[in-house]
Amino acid sequence: EKEREKEKEKEERGEAREGRKERGEEVGEKEREQKEKELIEEEEKEEEEDEEEEEEGEEKEGEEGENEWKTILRTELKEERYRRKCVNALFKKLSSMVSKDLVDDFAIAFCYLASKSTKKALVKKLMNPADGSLQLIPFYARAAASLGTVFPDIAMALVAAVEDEFRTFFPPPGSAAAAAASMAALAASYNSADPSPASIAALEDRIKNAKMMGELVKFSLFPLGFFFVSLRQLLDSFEGFAVDAAATMIDTAGRVLLRRRDGKARMVAALGLLKKKAAAAAAARKLGSRQTAMIDNAFFAAVAPSRNIGIRRRRSPMKSFIRHLILERLSNDSLSSTLTLCLKLPWEAVGEGVKEGVKE
């Protein structure tokens, strides 16, 4: 019995030990699980904190980027406004460009402000001189030629605009009859005793176009083919505003084209046709005194009249000195000094020359 009791006690002790072990293992597992949970929670908190910090950093960077973009945009707007002011101030000088130096200064200043919009605006300004002044057109053509070496698109755009304007003002013979009739009516109104403002403006626009064409030809910017085709069209019709435009074209570019190899023959033919048309129109009494004067001025501007130029006699230095002594230096105050200089002349060596000088 004692042995059985001892065995039971041993079994109970073993079971107690096993229970303790199991309890310890359970406690250890719970502690481990709690620790793992705590670690996971800490990691999640750290990740959340990191994400919050990243979001805050991104927000700050976004705000800084927006601020930088706003500052850049403001500076660009300020620069654009300042550039526009400079361009407007520069365009205001176009009405006072009356010398080569001013034109060159304008071209240099425009190079620093050039853009697509300013180029288009410049072409429009060059096509429409201030107050319709024809005196500015040669300087405008010079500005276009100077800027054309740096910006070829300016010269090309100006030439295209002049060509389109000419086609509008003088439609070809096969075009709509309404345009030709309206132009004939304006010409008749201008030649009447009381011309209308519309007819005056129409004539000024056509003369301005013809003069711009001729000035561009001088700088070799305008194609000679279109120039002579247009001139031939005007000479063929030779009535109304066509007479004024043809005379203006010849007056502006005729002298230059007669001295160019690529334009001399065609210009001579155009002048011959002008003579025939003018004589026929004068015989039919279709030309007024104003148009007759314009044709004569254009012809003589292209072909200078021949005249006899006298040969100027050149005096020798001795004769010039004698004339200076007698005609300029001799006076009551300088009589003695002038006589002294006259006595010092080489009368014996070149006596005949001195005597001739004194006689003269």
Helices (H), 219-331: 224-237, 241-257, 264-283, 289-302, 317-323
Task: Answer for the pair 298, 337: CB distance below 8 angstroms, yes or no.
Answer: no
Closest CA to 266 of 313, 230, 221, 304: 230
Distances (CA, A) of 246 to 257, 262, 278: 14, 20, 11
Residue carrying structure tokens 């009589």: 335
- Where does residue 353 fall: left (phi above 0), alpha (psi -120 to 50 degrees), or beta otherwise? alpha
Prediction pTM value: 0.64
Asked if 277 contacts 298 with a C-beta cutoff of 8 angstroms, the reply is no
Give the model's pLDDT for residue 326. Answer: 86
- Domain map (residue ranges) of the chain: 25-95, 159-302, 317-359
Residue 213, burial from CB neighbour count under 10 angstroms (0-12, 13-18, 19+): buried
Averaged over successive runs of 10 residues, the pLDDT of the chain (360 residues) comes to 77 69 61 74 77 70 64 75 85 89 92 90 90 86 93 94 92 62 58 70 90 94 94 90 92 92 92 91 83 90 70 78 86 87 75 56
